[in-house]
Amino acid sequence: MSASQKPVLLTGASGNLGRMLARELAALGHTLVLTDIKPFPDDLPAGAKFTTADLGDEVTMHHLADGCGAILHFGGVSVDRPFEEVLDPNLRGLYHIYEAARRNAARVLFASSNHSIGFHERSEKLDYDCAFRPDSFYGLSKAYGELIGRLYWDKHGVENLNVRIGSCFPEVANARMLSTWLSYADLARLCDAFLKAPRVGHAVVWGASDNPASFWGKDHRDRIGWQPQDTAETARAQVKDKVSGNPVVERYQGGDYCANDYSRAAPSPKDPFALD
Q: Is 138 a catalytic residue?
A: yes
Cβ atoms of 71 and 30 closer than 8 Å: no
CA-wise closest residue to 188 among 68, 74, 55, 49: 74
Closest CA to 218 of 140, 93, 98, 130: 130
CA-CA distances (angstroms) from residue 152 to 103, 146, 148, 198, 219?
11, 10, 6, 19, 20
The H or E element spanning position 239 is helix 236-239
CA 32 to each of CA 49, 61, 70, 146, 195: distance values in angstroms, whole numbers, following the listed order: 7, 14, 10, 24, 12
Task: Return the closest-CA partner of residue 61 out of 85, 87, 88.
Answer: 88
Measured at the alpha carbon of residue 183, what is the angle toward residues 177 and 186, in degrees to the nearest 5?
Answer: 135
Q: What is the three-class DSSP state of 110?
A: strand
- What type of residue sits at position 4? S
Identified catalytic residue from 95, 98, 128, 138: 138
The answer to whether 133 touches 118, Cβ cutoff 8 Å, is yes
**Beta strand extents in 53-157 (DSSP E only):** 70-73, 107-113
Q: Which residues are catalytic?
A: 138
